[in-house]
Amino acid sequence: MIVPKLPSTAAGVAAHYDELDLAYRRIWGEHVHHGYWRTGRESPAEAADALTELVEQRLALEPGQTLCDIGCGYGATAARIVDRHDVRIIGLTLSAAQEEIASARPSSRFTCLRRDWLHNDLPGASFDRAYAIESSEHMVDKARFFHEAARVLRPGGRLVVCAWLEGEKARGWEIRHLLEPICREGQLPGMGSRADYEVLAAEAGFTLRDYEDAAARVRRTWTICLRRFAGRMVTDPALRRLALSPKTRNRGFILSLPRLILALRTGAMRYGIFVWEKAPTAPASTAAPRR
């Protein structure tokens, strides 16, 4: 597990997304997650939707189910899913800026709550499916992340997680100059490896059903983001002010764009897509660990 010397907090994650709201929407787009290139010919929008479709497939959705979007961002992914499936989604975000946009979406089957997943107060065994697309990285307590997922899922429920991961063979210089700064600049309290996630999920009562290392499929995202950023720094005064102002506390994230490109290309960072299932009969271990 990669842990930066200055670990983040839930409040720090919320402040990061609120302060950089304009930059995220103009550079990364409304989904705020990687694209997935199957052929390499997809547009960025098509690739972002392809990742959403991949999550849908892994969830094995059925009509009438209730889903939890753990870290729903602007609600774009949830909106796409409810458009294509007869399901209901409750999404959680820490960001007030994201909640405002997500809550304005015209869907009666998607609800956004501004709430910390680690203290979500959702009723137990109330969801058929749950998914976390690039949000587990922001969790201060990853063991509790999995225990909360196991608690709110019904027996036999399924959890799909897309996660930035530490490469199993990351070298010392890659950890010092790529992974630790990526965690610090992106407000990631820690970046786990595939093995870390599998151990924590098993301890929470989940059985792994599928795993894909999709680093090669998603890494083009950051080259596109860097190109967009460079172009908008010339044409977009609001973004330029945000990026250059010394008052912008989270502007260091911009430095992570080239780091992310390099980390995914060297293998120092991986991108994992996990599918877990909760046992048909809930074990006692699904209770959240005591603190």
Residue range 90-140, pLDDT digits in tens? 999 999 999 999 999 988 899 999 999 999 999 999 999 999 999 999 999
* pTM attached to this predicted model: 0.91
Euclidean distance between CA atoms 77 and 153, whole angstroms: 20
State the maximum Cα–Cα separation within the chain, in Å, rounded to a whole number.
57
Q: What is the mean pLDDT of residues 2-22?
A: 88
CA angle 270, 40, 56 (to 5 degrees): 65
DSSP 3-state of 14: helix
Q: Is the pLDDT assigned to residue 87 strictly greater than 70?
A: yes
Task: Tell me whether strands 153-166 and 206-213 are parallel, antiparallel or unpaired.
Answer: unpaired
As given in the structure block, the two tokens for residue 73 are 């961002």
pLDDT tens-digit series, residues 139-167: 999 999 999 999 999 999 999 999 999 99
The chain-wide mean pLDDT, for the chain, equals: 92
Position 252 scores a pLDDT of 83
Position 29 scores a pLDDT of 80
Q: Say if residues 165 and 271 touch (Cβ distance below 8 Å).
A: yes
Q: Say if residues 230 and 174 touch (Cβ distance below 8 Å).
A: no
The share of the chain scoring above pLDDT 90, in percent, equals 79
Residue of higher predicted confidence among 205 and 2: 205
Q: Is the pLDDT assigned to residue 205 strictly greater than 80?
A: yes
Residue of higher predicted confidence among 284 and 167: 167
Task: Tell me whether strands 269-278 and 206-213 are parallel, antiparallel or unpaired.
Answer: antiparallel
Q: Is the pLDDT assigned to residue 286 strictly greater than 50?
A: no
Q: Is the pLDDT assigned to residue 222 strictly greater than 50?
A: yes
